Structure 1
Amino acid sequence: MHLPSVQRKKITAAFDGGRMTSDGGVMLLAAIEASLGIAARLAPLITDPRNPALVTHSVADILRARMLAIACGYEDGDDLDHLRTDPGFKLACGRLPDSGRDLCSQPTVSRLKSAPGLREVIGLTYAMVDLYCASYDRPPRAVTLDIDDTVDVVHGHQQLSLFNGHYDERCFLPIHVYDTVTLRPVAMLLQPGTTPSGIEVRNHLRRLVRRIRQHWPHTRLTIRDDGHYGRPEVMAWYEANAVDYILGLPGNKVLTRLVEPAADDVRVRRAEAQAPVVRRYTEARYGAKSWQCERRVAARIEATTKGLDIRVVVTNIVGGGAEWLYDILYYARGQAGNLIKLHKTQLASDRTSCRSPLANQVRLVLHTGAFWLMLRLHDAIPKPLALACAEFTTLRMRLIKIGARIAETASRVRIAFAAAHPEGALFASLARCLHPAGP
Structure 2
Amino acid sequence: MTKCTTSTTSFPRCKGRQVSASFDGGEITSDGGALLLRQLGREWGLTRTIARRPSPVARRPSPVARRRDDTRASRRCQHRAETMLRQRAFGLALGYEDLNDHHALRRDIALQTAVDTDSVLASQSTLCRFEQQASRQWAVAIQEEIVEQFIRSFRRPPKKRLILDFDATDDPVHGEQLGRHFSGFYDGYCFLPLYVFCGQQLLVSYLRPVYRDAAYHAGAILALLVRRLRQAWPEVKVVFRGDSGFCRPMILNWCERHGVEYIVGLATNSRLEKLSLDIRYESAIRWEAERTKQRHFGRIHYAAHSWKRPRRKVVVKAETSHRGFNTRYVVTNLHGSPQWLYDHRYCPRGDMENRIKEQQWLFSDRTSWHDWWPNQYRLLLAGLAYRLLERLLERLRRVYLKRTAYATAQVTTLRLKLLKIGGVVIRNTRRVRLMLSSHYPDQDLFLKLVKKLVPG
Contact 2:206 2:376 (C-alpha < 8 Å) held by counterparts: yes
**Distance across 2 between alignment mates of 1:337 and 1:306:** 24
- Whether 2:148 is the aligned partner of 1:130: answer yes
**Distance across 2 between alignment mates of 1:42 and 1:358:** 16
Contact 1:128 1:365 (C-alpha < 8 Å) held by counterparts: no
Aligned to 1:288: 304
Aligned to 1:300: 317
Aligned mate of 1:400, from 405, 414, 419? 419
Q: 3-state SS of the aligned residue for 2:22?
A: coil
1:101 partner letter: S
Aligned to 2:112: 90
Contact 1:220 1:243 (C-alpha < 8 Å) held by counterparts: yes
User: Under a length normalisation based on structure 2, what TM-score does the superposition of the two structures give?
Assistant: 0.90
Q: Tell me how many residue pairs correspond in the alignment.
A: 428
**Distance across 2 between alignment mates of 1:203 and 1:389:** 33
Aligned to 2:60: none
Contact 2:69 2:137 (C-alpha < 8 Å) held by counterparts: no
Contact 1:379 1:388 (C-alpha < 8 Å) held by counterparts: no
Q: CA deviation at 1:223?
A: 1.1
1:360 partner letter: N
Q: CA deviation at 1:199?
A: 6.5
1:278 partner letter: Q
Superposed CA RMSD: 1.6
1:335 partner letter: D
User: Under a length normalisation based on structure 1, what TM-score does the superposition of the two structures give?
Assistant: 0.94
**Distance across 1 between alignment mates of 2:319 and 2:214:** 31
Q: CA deviation at 1:410?
A: 3.5
**Distance across 2 between alignment mates of 1:306 and 1:55:** 64
Q: CA deviation at 1:198?
A: 5.7
Percent identity among equivalent residues? 34
Aligned to 2:347: 331
Q: Deviations over 1:147-184 (max 9, x none)?
A: 1001000001111111111011110010011112xx11
Aligned to 1:166: 185
Correspondences of 1:36-435 after superposition (within 5 Å): 36-44=44-52, 45-95=67-117, 100-141=118-159, 142-180=161-199, 183-196=200-213, 200-273=217-290, 275-295=291-311, 296-317=313-334, 319-344=335-360, 346-381=361-396, 382=400, 383-435=402-454
Q: Mark the CA change 1:119 to 1:14 in structure 2 (over 3 Å): closer, same or farther.
A: closer
**Distance across 2 between alignment mates of 1:263 and 1:56:** 68
Q: CA deviation at 1:308?
A: 2.0
Q: CA deviation at 1:229?
A: 0.7
Bigger relative contact order, structure 1 or 2, given CA contacts below 8 A and separation 6+? 1
Q: CA deviation at 1:360?
A: 1.2
**Distance across 2 between alignment mates of 1:170 and 1:409:** 51
Correspondences of 1:3-14 after superposition (within 5 Å): 3-14=11-22
Q: 3-state SS of the aligned residue for 2:217?
A: helix
Q: CA deviation at 1:316?
A: 1.6
Q: Mark the CA change 1:34 to 1:246 in structure 2 (over 3 Å): closer, same or farther.
A: same
Q: CA deviation at 1:77?
A: 1.8
Q: CA deviation at 1:362?
A: 1.1
Aligned to 1:24: 32
Q: 3-state SS of the aligned residue for 1:332?
A: helix
Contact 1:198 1:233 (C-alpha < 8 Å) held by counterparts: no
Q: CA deviation at 1:14?
A: 1.9
Greater mean alpha carbon deviation, residues 226-235 or residues 199-208? 199-208
Q: 3-state SS of the aligned residue for 2:307?
A: coil
- Structure 1: runs of 5 or more not aligned: none
- Structure 2: runs of 5 or more not aligned: 1-8, 53-66
Contact 1:198 1:234 (C-alpha < 8 Å) held by counterparts: no
Q: Deviations over 1:13-56 (max 9, x none)?
A: 32111111111111111111111111112112222222222222
Contact 1:126 1:211 (C-alpha < 8 Å) held by counterparts: no
